[in-house]
Structure 1
Amino acid sequence: MCRHLAYLGPAAPIGEVVIAPPHGLFTQSWAPRRQAHGTVNADGFGVGWYAPGDPVPARYRRAGPIWGDLSFADLARVVRTGALMAAVRDATEASADGEAGASPFASGAWLFSHNGAIRDWPHSLADVAASLPPADLLGLEARCDSALVWALVLHRLRQDHEPPEALAEAVDTLGAAAPGSRLNLLLMDGETIAATAWGDTLWYLADPGRCVVVASEPYDDDPRWTEVPDHTLLTATRTDVLLTALKEASA
């Protein structure tokens, strides 16, 4: 499992969102409060952020734990952004992927993260993988389950599916192929966040017209944090949050 978050709001140092909160993603890397599967997220981390006037996000990813990277602490102190995604990783299986297996994954304007695990990986998704264009498989950044999940979502985005539709269809396909998988997905383009709650916790904090944070768990004790029900699709902008029920996939 992993912990992840996405932020849309006023420009702020990355550290104010990721490191400074008392129960922020930095602390969640070793002491998550609501993580049901796994206890330490030390198998890598990543942050993606958008700069004004540039639709393509920058990324900083590493294979080790976030608390051991002094360079990131410096970067997070001075780099400001109004849109970011970050994740700390607890790998489904040990691998040689290194930082390539750490979220967020990226393509064009998109950032993506998977908090969860595919049941009976990789055998359960053999048919799903075979349904993708060979070029998509050859272009995978890593050999982990999250990279294949991202390929499935990205394939739908390239077919001009809207982000919420792309996530909902991917979860339906994955849930049918690998029942019991945990499929909390997070997708953003710098203006909109789409996410699914499927098998693990998801929360959001909204200050309409100003900011929205979508996260695996609250990073502080603000009473405005709202839990997203399981099997739910969330779509959020700086001004609005929409929740839609997802149907239970059947094998």
Structure 2
Amino acid sequence: MCRHLAYLGPEEPLGRLLVEPPHGLYRQSWAPRRQRYGTVNADGFGVGWYAEGDPVPARYRRAGPVWADLSFADLARVVRSTAVLAAVRDATVAGADGEAAAAPFAAGRWLFSHNGAVAGWPHSLAPLVPSLPAVDLLSLEARNDSALVWALVLARLRGGDDEGQALADTVVEVAEAAPASRLNLLLTNGETITATAWGDTLWYLARPGGGTVVASEPYDDDPHWREVPDRTLLVASRTDVLLTPLKDPSDTLAPAPSKEPST
């Protein structure tokens, strides 16, 4: 369900990352090449980006398919940024909450997206609700699984966890409460990208010209794309990518992290 992408690097027009590539996120909305669940991502889309001198990102989101938005191509052509997170959505529950349910979700300097689905939603996550502050529950943007997963991540971030710890602990907690969930999470603060591969595809590209792209699937056939193993936490900067295996609740041992240098 869904496809998403994050970028850090030299300033680029949004269109060069999302629209122009032959298999970019724009095309993935109707013709993804590696999506394991669902075939069309027409239940909304969104893009968030950072402007120079402002740590709080801007967002543009819509409830319908990206190809039906006649203004998006113009926006993507002229807006430039050094940090971007975008997603196209295939809803777990069709029609739920419209634009409010479209990623990226945002709070302060963070942008967040969830590619996947929580098994047994909403009943499976009811036991986790008491761990959240009441104000966080009352201010959820949408009534879907992704919004609640974001609330769990955000509570950890506000509690002082770094991005990697917040995503890793949330994924393990949700997977324990709702086995068989697909939890590919994507988070950026404008300076780093943090992601999980848990049940669906995730790739990264260390661009020869500079910058790092993390995406559900490659947007072109560049041989430098690398697939992230399932059950893995990825933390990326503009120059480095660190991969750390995640411990499945049913596992007892996990191997050590590995560092993947950008070239």
Aligned ranges for residues 1-251 of structure 1 at < 5 Å?
A: 1-207=1-207, 210-250=210-250
Q: Measure the CA separation in 2 of the matches of 1:7 and 1:219.
A: 12
Q: Does structure 2 conserve the Cα–Cα contact (< 8 Å) formed by 1:208 and 1:239?
A: no
Q: Does structure 2 conserve the Cα–Cα contact (< 8 Å) formed by 1:114 and 1:183?
A: yes
Q: Give the AA of the match of 2:86.
A: A
Q: Give the AA of the match of 1:142.
A: A
Q: Measure the CA separation in 1 of the matches of 2:131 and 2:166.
A: 16
Q: Measure the CA separation in 1 of the matches of 2:112 and 2:194.
A: 10
Aligned to 2:260: none
Q: Give the AA of the match of 2:53.
A: G
CA shift, 1:207, in A, is 3.1
- 3-state SS in 2 of match to 1:70: coil
Q: Measure the CA separation in 2 of the matches of 1:24 and 1:84.
A: 14
CA shift, 1:94, in A, is 1.8
CA shift, 1:209, in A, is 8.2
Q: Does structure 2 conserve the Cα–Cα contact (< 8 Å) formed by 1:209 and 1:239?
A: no
Q: What TM-score does the superposition give when structure 2 sets the normalisation length?
A: 0.94
Q: Give the AA of the match of 1:204.
A: Y
Q: Give the AA of the match of 1:107.
A: A
Q: Measure the CA separation in 1 of the matches of 2:81 and 2:74.
A: 15
Q: State the Cα deviation string for residues 227-251 of structure 1 (Å, max 9, x = none).
A: 0000000000001000000001249
Q: Does structure 1 conserve the Cα–Cα contact (< 8 Å) formed by 2:4 and 2:216?
A: yes
Q: What TM-score does the superposition give when structure 1 sets the normalisation length?
A: 0.98
Q: What value does the CA root-mean-square deviation take over the aligned residues?
A: 1.2
- 3-state SS in 2 of match to 1:183: strand
Q: Does structure 1 conserve the Cα–Cα contact (< 8 Å) formed by 2:85 and 2:104?
A: yes
Q: Measure the CA separation in 2 of the matches of 1:58 and 1:87.
A: 14
Equivalenced residue count is: 251
Q: Measure the CA separation in 2 of the matches of 1:183 and 1:208.
A: 29
Q: Does structure 2 conserve the Cα–Cα contact (< 8 Å) formed by 1:209 and 1:238?
A: no
Q: Measure the CA separation in 2 of the matches of 1:157 and 1:208.
A: 32
Q: Does structure 2 conserve the Cα–Cα contact (< 8 Å) formed by 1:87 and 1:103?
A: yes
CA shift, 1:208, in A, is 7.0
Q: Does structure 1 conserve the Cα–Cα contact (< 8 Å) formed by 2:96 and 2:144?
A: no
Q: Measure the CA separation in 1 of the matches of 2:198 and 2:223.
A: 23
Q: Does structure 1 conserve the Cα–Cα contact (< 8 Å) formed by 2:109 and 2:190?
A: yes
Change (3 A) 1:230 1:96: closer
Gaps in structure 1 of 5+ consecutive residues: none
CA shift, 1:119, in A, is 0.2
Q: Give the AA of the match of 1:244.
A: T
